[in-house]
């Protein structure tokens, strides 16, 4: 045996070549080396087995008929020692029956002698890619099942894990928490996680959107009022603070709170008492406050839009939720999480997502953060025609990569053209005139293309009937509190 490393395209994957015929073995090593693989050679099965026990390989390429230990026996040993390593067997003409047996015994693929080098490369590439996808999916599934899914919170980036740790520490105490982050980064979900992980999870969690209540009503909504406090106050009303007693009050969009109300809030935070509008008696309250904002309160303090003392009291512990584009390593996990969620909800058996589509998701800007990602996946689950989510199912991808077109150039071009036209149609709301204009072709050419490329002319209707534009996916969706 000899070890040889060749410089090439730098794919860097290691391949163990097991072949007793020296000339064939060495020429395979040289050719694969030129393709950028790192090759290691073994002249017989026993040596190969020893090597596999000592170091991992990305793939094993083995002859079937060899003197001492044959390829089939070796295959059995590899399945035990390194079950994830794909094995491709090389067999002489006449022994196709062996090849079939080899596949049954767990070989990934087989090649017939004389070895066609092109064929070999395709098979190696396919084996490596399949193994990689399987591996990634397995890791993702394991992570989903483990601590990385913290209640409904999914993430595995270091920043997210640190935030989960904070949630764990904050849940049992009643300290005020300020959660900041762009829209759709999970502020409300974090607030709920803090509440529902704590000992008061059976007490109320009361979300209040400060930005959605008219200024004139906000004080009475928050603190309640007594009968007769103002025109129309025909009976006592309990405010949100009292409604949340014993539990958590979630003050969302706190930046929208008018200055005057901020002053009242300051008093409540200091005294832990509320006085309903029109009342003289303050009532003690025991409420944990979680405030959230997608605006920078510090800057608002500087510009005089937010009270410094209120900011100071809210900002006891701050959770700063990072935008999705700064923690792309969480994207695959989230994609699988939402795929799972929506295929279950919609009763669709989807097997996963193509590499091309995942790449597009990884590269997207995600201005709307996790909410946008969730909506994209929900729509893709509705859209998907095959068993996998593909680029075509994503609303924003112009298909730079074509999924599974195989090697045939014409077919790849055809698929690219098809996806590009569908993308154009979606972009221009199925307006064919507008689409043709942007594609730079005439309207009759567009119609011809739709025919040639099997694109339904009523694509829009098909999607409408799939509830594509029901509109509900655009608004914020609140999860019910996670079940403790």
Residues that bind ligand ATP (CB under 6 A): 152-155, 181, 183-189, 294, 337, 370-371, 374, 476-477, 479
CB of 323 to Mg ion, least distance (A): 14
DSSP-assigned beta bridge partners for residue 181:
321
State the binding partner of 152 from Mg ion, ligand ATP, none, CB within 5 to 8 A by kind.
ligand ATP
Q: Could you tell me where the DSSP H helices lie in 45-116?
A: 45-54, 71-81, 96-104
CB neighbour list of residue 3: distance below 8 Å, 6 or more residues apart:
40, 41
CB of 132 to ligand ATP, least distance (A): 25
CB neighbour list of residue 330: distance below 8 Å, 6 or more residues apart:
154, 155, 156, 157, 160, 324
Burial class (CB in 10 A: 0-12, 13-18, 19+), 2: exposed
DSSP-assigned beta bridge partners for residue 389:
353
CB of 310 to Mg ion, least distance (A): 20
State the binding partner of 364 from ligand ATP, Mg ion, none, CB within 5 to 8 A by kind.
none
Nearest to ligand ATP of 60, 189 (CB atom): 189
CB of 250 to ligand ATP, least distance (A): 10
Mark the segment that binds Mg ion (CB under 5 A) among 170-178, 185-193, 298-306, 424-432: 185-193
Mark the segment that binds Mg ion (CB under 5 A) among 168-176, 186-194, 265-273, 316-324: 186-194
CB of 188 to Mg ion, least distance (A): 4
State the binding partner of 198 from Mg ion, ligand ATP, none, CB within 5 to 8 A by kind.
none
Nearest to Mg ion of 231, 480 (CB atom): 480
Nearest to Mg ion of 19, 188 (CB atom): 188
State the binding partner of 462 from Mg ion, ligand ATP, none, CB within 5 to 8 A by kind.
none
Q: Is 188 in the site for Mg ion (CB under 5 A)?
A: yes
Residue 280 burial (CB count, 10 A): 7
CB neighbour list of residue 210: distance below 8 Å, 6 or more residues apart:
218, 251, 252, 253, 254, 255, 256, 257
CB of 179 to Mg ion, least distance (A): 9
Q: Bin 347: left if φ > 0, else alpha if -120 < ψ < 50, else beta.
A: left
Compute CA distances 301 → 185, 229, 245, 292, whole Å: 23, 32, 29, 15
CB of 374 to ligand ATP, least distance (A): 5
Helix or strand (DSSP H, E) at 320: strand 317-321
State the binding partner of 181 from Mg ion, ligand ATP, none, CB within 5 to 8 A by kind.
ligand ATP
Nearest to ligand ATP of 4, 183 (CB atom): 183
CB of 360 to ligand ATP, least distance (A): 19
CB-CB contact of 331 with 373 (8 Å): yes
CA 479 – CA 484 distance, rounded (Å): 13
CA 209 – CA 34 distance, rounded (Å): 63
Nearest to Mg ion of 187, 327 (CB atom): 187
CB of 101 to ligand ATP, least distance (A): 47
Nearest to ligand ATP of 157, 390 (CB atom): 157
Q: Where are the beta strands (DSSP E) in 265-304?
A: 273-274, 283-284, 288-293
| Residue-wise DSSP of 228-243 | TSSTT--S-EE-HHHH
State the binding partner of 296 from ligand ATP, Mg ion, none, CB within 5 to 8 A by kind.
none
State the binding partner of 397 from ligand ATP, Mg ion, none, CB within 5 to 8 A by kind.
none
Mark the segment that binds Mg ion (CB under 5 A) among 114-122, 155-163, 188-196, 437-445: 188-196
Burial class (CB in 10 A: 0-12, 13-18, 19+), 320: exposed
CA 167 – CA 195 distance, rounded (Å): 9
State the binding partner of 370 from ligand ATP, Mg ion, none, CB within 5 to 8 A by kind.
ligand ATP
CB of 344 to Mg ion, least distance (A): 24
Nearest to Mg ion of 297, 381 (CB atom): 297
Q: Where are the beta strands (DSSP E) in 109-232?
A: 109-112, 149-150, 153-154, 177-181, 205-209, 224-225
Nearest to ligand ATP of 273, 477 (CB atom): 477
Nearest to ligand ATP of 35, 374 (CB atom): 374
DSSP-assigned beta bridge partners for residue 317:
177
State the binding partner of 183 from ligand ATP, Mg ion, none, CB within 5 to 8 A by kind.
ligand ATP
State the binding partner of 477 from ligand ATP, Mg ion, none, CB within 5 to 8 A by kind.
ligand ATP
Compute CA distances 436 → 15, 420, 422, 423, 463, whole Å: 49, 12, 11, 12, 20
Nearest to ligand ATP of 295, 449 (CB atom): 295
Q: Which residue is nearest to ligand ATP (CB)?
A: 186
Residue 334 burial (CB count, 10 A): 19
Q: How far is CA 200 from the centre of its chain?
A: 31
Structure tokens at 332: 């695959």
CB-CB contact of 426 with 395 (8 Å): yes
Size of the site for Mg ion (CB under 5 A): 2
CB of 290 to ligand ATP, least distance (A): 11
Q: Is 253 in the site for Mg ion (CB under 5 A)?
A: no
Q: Binding residues for Mg ion, per CB under 5 A?
A: 187-188
């Amino acid at each position: 045996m000899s070890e040889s490393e060749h410089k090439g395209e730098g794919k860097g994957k290691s391949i163990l070549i097991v072949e007793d015929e020296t000339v064939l073995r060495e020429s395979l090593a040289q050719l694969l080396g030129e393709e950028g693989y790192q090759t290691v050679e073994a002249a017989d099965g026993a040596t190969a087995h020893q090597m596999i026990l000592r170091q991992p390989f990305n793939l094993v390429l083995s002859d079937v008929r060899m003197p001492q230990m044959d390829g089939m026996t070796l295959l059995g040993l590899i399945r035990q020692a390194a079950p994830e390593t794909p094995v491709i067997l090389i067999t002489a003409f006449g022994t196709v029956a062996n090849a079939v047996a080899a596949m049954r015994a767990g070989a990934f693929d087989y090649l017939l002698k004389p070895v066609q080098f092109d064929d070999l490369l395709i098979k190696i590439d396919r084996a490596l890619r399949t193994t990689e996808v399987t591996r990634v999916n397995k890791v993702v599934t394991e992570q989903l099942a483990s601590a990385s899914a913290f209640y409904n919170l999914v993430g595995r980036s270091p920043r997210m894990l640190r935030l989960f740790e904070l949630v764990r520490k904050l849940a049992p105490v009643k300290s005020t928490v300020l959660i900041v982050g762009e829209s759709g980064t999970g502020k409300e979900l974090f607030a709920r996680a803090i509440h529902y992980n704590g000992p008061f999870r059976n007490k109320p969690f009361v979300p209040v959107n400060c930005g959605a209540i008219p200024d004139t009503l906000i004080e009475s909504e928050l603190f309640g009022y007594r009968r007769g406090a103002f025109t129309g106050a025909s009976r006592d009303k309990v405010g949100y603070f009292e409604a949340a007693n014993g539990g958590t009050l979630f003050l969302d969009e706190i930046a929208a709170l008018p200055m005057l109300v901020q002053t009242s809030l300051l008093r409540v935070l200091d005294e832990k008492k509320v006085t309903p509008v029109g009342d003289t008696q303050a009532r003690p309250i025991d409420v944990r406050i979680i405030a959230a904002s997608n605006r920078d309160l510090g800057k608002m303090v500087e510009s005089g839009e937010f009270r410094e003392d209120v900011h100071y009291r809210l900002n006891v512990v701050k959770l700063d939720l990072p935008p999705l584009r700064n923690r792309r390593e969480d994207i695959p996990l989230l994609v699988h999480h939402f795929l799972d969620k929506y295929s279950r909800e919609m009763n669709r058996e989807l097997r996963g997502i193509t590499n091309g589509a995942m790449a597009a998701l990884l590269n997207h800007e995600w201005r709307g953060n996790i909410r946008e990602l969730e909506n994209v996946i929900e729509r893709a689950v509705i859209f998907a025609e095959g068993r996998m989510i593909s680029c075509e199912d994503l609303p924003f991808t112009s298909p730079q990569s074509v999924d599974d077109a195989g090697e045939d150039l014409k077919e790849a071009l055809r698929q690219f053209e098809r996806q590009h036209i569908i993308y154009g149609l979606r972009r221009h709301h199925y307006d064919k005139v507008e689409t043709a204009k942007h594609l730079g072709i005439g309207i009759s050419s567009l119609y011809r293309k739709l025919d040639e490329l099997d694109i339904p002319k009523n694509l829009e209707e098909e999607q409408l009937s799939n509830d594509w534009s029901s509109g509900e996916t655009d608004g914020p969706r609140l999860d019910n509190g996670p079940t403790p």
